[in-house]
C-alpha cells in the first residue's frame, strides 16, 4: 500500500481508540496496525512512523464510519499550536475598523504569530464550552490547519511544502474581550474546547492547501467565504517564518488565519451564544460542526 493515504482519521469504536484510513466514498474507515500507545495519540502515531521511515499496515476489516466517533486527528498535540492572525486581506481590513483600529502594527510587514495550548483541542463534532463569568464575546474563526511531517529549522520558503504532512480543518475559537484585556492573544484563544479540529487529516500528496476555499456557517447562515490564495502570507512563507531559529517537529500544527466575516467585524458585532452551531468547511478536506453550550459553574 502507499506510504501515505488520502484521509487519516482518529476515532473511537466500542469505547476503544483507533486510527484508520477513510474510504474514498467516506462511508468506512479501515483500522491501521498500531500499538495501544499509538492508538491513543491518534494520527500523531502515523506521522511519527512515516517520519522514521516506517510503513503503514492495515489491521482488520473496514468499519462503517457511522459506527465510530471521530476524535480530533491529533487529540492532544505534543505542544502548542502555532497560529497566525489577520492573514487574509479582507479580514485584516475588517479588524482595522474594529477595536484593532488603534493598533499601529502593519499586518503586511510580518506575520502575527501566537499559540493555543494543546489542551484546547476537541473533536469535529464535540461541544464547545462558553466559559461562565469569564467572557461575553466568543467568536469563531474558520481556518486551514497545516500539519508538519518532518523536523526542520530555518526552512527556506522554497523547501517549505516538503515539510508538510497534510492538512486539517480548524475553528480558532476566540474570547475577544479576554484577547483585548490582556493585550496578547494566547489566553483568549486557549480556553478549554476552543480548538475544534478534524474531521481527519488529508495528506499533502493528495491536497493543495495553497488553492482551496474556507467557509463558515453560524446556524446555517454563511458568514465566512475565502480563498487561501488571498492570504497575505502564504503557507511556505509561514513555515519559513515560524521555523526561523525554532525547530518544527512532526505533528506541529500551524493554523493559517481566517477569512473576513468574523463576529467582531460585523456592525454591530455578533458574538456566539449558547445553542449556536458553527460549521467550518474547506473544499477537498471536509467539515467540522460544533454546538456551543454554556459551561456549568
CA distance 221 to 215: 11
Write down the pLDDT at residue 296. Answer: 87
Write down the pLDDT at residue 182. Answer: 76
The CATH code of domain 81-294 reads 3.90.850.10
Write down the pLDDT at residue 2. Answer: 45
Digit-by-digit pLDDT tens for the chain (297 residues) are 344 558 999 999 999 999 999 999 999 999 999 999 999 999 999 999 999 999 999 999 999 999 999 999 999 999 999 999 999 987 667 766 655 555 555 556 889 999 999 999 999 999 999 999 999 999 999 999 999 999 999 999 999 999 999 999 999 999 999 988 877 789 999 999 999 999 999 999 999 999 999 999 999 999 999 999 999 999 999 999 999 999 999 999 999 999 999 999 999 999 999 999 999 999 999 999 999 999 987
Q: Which of 201, 212, 143, 208 is nearest to 174 (CA)?
A: 143
Write down the pLDDT at residue 229. Answer: 95
Write down the pLDDT at residue 58. Answer: 95
Write down the pLDDT at residue 90. Answer: 73
Write down the pLDDT at residue 94. Answer: 77
Amino acid at each position: 500500500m502507499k506510504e501515505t493515504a488520502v484521509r487519516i482519521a482518529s476515532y473511537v469504536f466500542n469505547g476503544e481508540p483507533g486510527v484508520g484510513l477513510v474510504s474514498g466514498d467516506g462511508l468506512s474507515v479501515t483500522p491501521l496496525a498500531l500499538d495501544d500507545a499509538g492508538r491513543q495519540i491518534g494520527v500523531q502515531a502515523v506521522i511519527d512512523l512515516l517520519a522514521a521511515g516506517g510503513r503503514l499496515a492495515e489491521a482488520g476489516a473496514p468499519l462503517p464510519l457511522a459506527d465510530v466517533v471521530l476524535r480530533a486527528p491529533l487529540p492532544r498535540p505534543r505542544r502548542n499550536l502555532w497560529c497566525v492572525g489577520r492573514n487574509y486581506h479582507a479580514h485584516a481590513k475588517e479588524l482595522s475598523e474594529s477595536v484593532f483600529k488603534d493598533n499601529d502594527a502593519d499586518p503586511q510587514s510580518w506575520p502575527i504569530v501566537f499559540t493555543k495550548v494543546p489542551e484546547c483541542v476537541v473533536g469535529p463534532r464535540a461541544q464547545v464550552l462558553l466559559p461562565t463569568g469569564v467572557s461575553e464575546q466568543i467568536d469563531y474563526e474558520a481556518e486551514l490547519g497545516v500539519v508538519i511531517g518532518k523536523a526542520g529549522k530555518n526552512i527556506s520558503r522554497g523547501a517549505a511544502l516538503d515539510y508538510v504532512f497534510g492538512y486539517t480543518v480548524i475553528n480558532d475559537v476566540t474570547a475577544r474581550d479576554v484577547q483585548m484585556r490582556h493585550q496578547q492573544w494566547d489566553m483568549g484563544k486557549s480556553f478549554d474546547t476552543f480548538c475544534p479540529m478534524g474531521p481527519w487529516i488529508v495528506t499533502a500528496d493528495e491536497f493543495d492547501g495553497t488553492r482551496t476555499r474556507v467557509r463558515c456557517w453560524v446556524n446555517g447562515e454563511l458568514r465566512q467565504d475565502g480563498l487561501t490564495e488571498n492570504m497575505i502570507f502564504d503557507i511556505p512563507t509561514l513555515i519559513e517564518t515560524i521555523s526561523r531559529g525554532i525547530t518544527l517537529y512532526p505533528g506541529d500544527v500551524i493554523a493559517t488565519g481566517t477569512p473576513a466575516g468574523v463576529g467582531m467585524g460585523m456592525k454591530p458585532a455578533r458574538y456566539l451564544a449558547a445553542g449556536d452551531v458553527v460549521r467550518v468547511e474547506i473544499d477537498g478536506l471536509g467539515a467540522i460542526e460544533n454546538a456551543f453550550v454554556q459551561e456549568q459553574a
